[in-house]
Structure 1
Amino acid sequence: MNSQNGFLLSFIKYGENDAILHCFTEEEGFQTYFLKGIYTRNNKKKAFLLPLNKLNFSIRVGRSGSMQTISNLEILNLHDVYTDIKANTVVFFISDFLNQILRNENKNPAVFYVIDEFIDQLNNKNYQSHLIFLIKILKIQGVAPLLDEGNFLDPETGTFSHFSSHLLFDEEISLFWKSIISSPNPYDNKIPFSKRKVFLDSILVYYHYHISDFKTPNSLEIIQQIFE
């Protein structure tokens, strides 16, 4: 038996009472677990199955190569993000996002820390925190734009130039990118409400260029609605 702390990224009901969980753990990175009996009538822990919930998993050691089984799970942090419509929408989008891009990620303390940090920001009603968070992930992955004197971000090369190369990356949007990348406290940067939709679009374009096999999360349409 071993114990893991991790963030729940997604889960799928399996049969009548069981579930398969995709998680990003502190010690082993991305993991897939089998959870037996979570959907039985009297199991109150089914309420723990919320995206980005930080949980402690007791893992039963099984045969090599087989899916690990959870024998018990406990919640580590209680947040209000699930009762706040805007925050809840952001959580579902980011968990959808991370479930895709962290599939091949091994132990990475920096990623684990920034997820924790992001949840705290969102819990404090920073409704632009996901925009900052996604750029922080790019920095950890080593594919964030390189800073230089240009005023226009070229999303394909990841450099700033003196001429615009993409419709979304005008001087204002490019300046947001540069400010966040260069700031010692990125969450202190403010993105005007009217610009958050197009700024998120610019982030997705950048991910398409720099993250292999990246696909726009299915929940994009839902999160875009909170910026209308």
Structure 2
Amino acid sequence: MNSQNGFLLSYIKYGENDAVLHCFTEEDGFQSYFLKGIYAKRNKKKALLLPLSKLNFSLNPLKGNGIQTISRFEMVKSNDIYSDIRCNSVVFFVSDFLNQNLRHENKNHNIFFCLEEFIDELENQNYQSHLIFLIKILKIQGVAPLINEGNYLDPETGTFSPHLTHQIFTEEISTLWKAILSIENPYLIKVHSTFRKDFLDSLLVYYHYHITDFKIPASLEVIQQIFE
């Protein structure tokens, strides 16, 4: 039996009482686990199955070609982000985003650390932290834009151009990208509310060009409504 820390991205009910959990783990990257009896009436641990909750799993040895079964799990650290409607919407969006787009990601300590840092920002009520987090993921995956003298980010080439190449990537939006890419701690940068929707749209456009099989999360509409 081995132990594993991981962030819960999603889960689906399986049969009457069981579930399959999709997680991003510290040691093995994206993993799916089978969890028996979580929907049983007397099982109070279903309350721990919150998006992006950091859990510690004890896993039974893998038999055959199936998925590993969780024998025990605990929450590593509790926090109050789920009681704040804005934090909650950000958490659902990011967990949905990662669940769609990290399916083939193996062990990556940088992404795992980046998730821990992102949760810390949310605990401090940084409601725009998801915008910064998505750029940090691009940097980790080696597809972030290259900074040069241009004033307009070209999302297709990942470079800055002297001319507008895409309607969303205005000079204001492009300047935000450049500032976030340049500063040591980008969470210090404030994205004004008037730019947040367009900035998020620009992130999704960029991901579309540079991440293979990129999928827009279904929760996008919810987070856009929360921050209108």
Quick check: TM above 0.5?
Answer: yes
In the other structure, the counterpart of 2:122 is 122
User: Could you tell me how far apart the structure 2 residues matched to 1:33 and 1:118 are?
Assistant: 24
1:142 aligned counterpart, secondary structure: coil
Contact kept? 2:147, 2:178, Cα under 8 Å: yes
Q: TM-score if structure 1 supplies the norm length? A: 0.99
Q: For residues 98-117 of structure 1, what are the structure 2 equivalents within 5 Å?
A: 98-117=98-117
1:5 aligns with 2:5: yes
Contact kept? 1:7, 1:55, Cα under 8 Å: yes
Q: Deviations over 1:52-111 (max 9, x none)?
A: 000000000121321100000000011111100000000000000001111111110000
Where in structure 1 are there 5+ consecutive unaligned residues? none
Code of the residue aligned with 2:49 in structure 1: it is L
Contact kept? 1:60, 1:71, Cα under 8 Å: yes
User: Could you tell me how far apart the structure 2 residues matched to 1:220 and 1:102 are?
Assistant: 17
Contact kept? 1:111, 1:137, Cα under 8 Å: yes
User: Could you tell me how far apart the structure 1 residues matched to 2:62 and 2:206 are?
Assistant: 41
Q: For residues 114-193 of structure 1, what are the structure 2 equivalents within 5 Å?
A: 114-193=114-193
Shift of 1:213: 0.9
Shift of 1:194: 1.3
User: Could you tell me how far apart the structure 2 residues matched to 1:200 and 1:109 are?
Assistant: 25
Q: Deviations over 1:165-192 (max 9, x none)?
A: 0000000000000000011011001100
Where in structure 2 are there 5+ consecutive unaligned residues? none
1:167 aligned counterpart, secondary structure: coil
In the other structure, the counterpart of 1:202 is 202
User: Could you tell me how far apart the structure 2 residues matched to 1:186 and 1:169 are?
Assistant: 19
In the other structure, the counterpart of 1:15 is 15
Contact kept? 1:194, 1:227, Cα under 8 Å: no
Cα RMSD, aligned residues only: 0.6
Equivalent pairs counted in the alignment come to: 228
Shift of 1:112: 0.1
Contact kept? 1:6, 1:25, Cα under 8 Å: yes
Contact kept? 2:62, 2:69, Cα under 8 Å: yes
> Greater shift after overlay, 57-66 or 23-32?
57-66
Q: TM-score if structure 2 supplies the norm length? A: 0.99
Q: Deviations over 1:135-178 (max 9, x none)?
A: 00000000000000000000000000100000000000000000
Code of the residue aligned with 2:106 in structure 1: it is N
Code of the residue aligned with 2:66 in structure 1: it is S
Which 4+ residue blocks in structure 1 deviate beyond 3 angstroms? none
Identity of aligned residues (%): 68
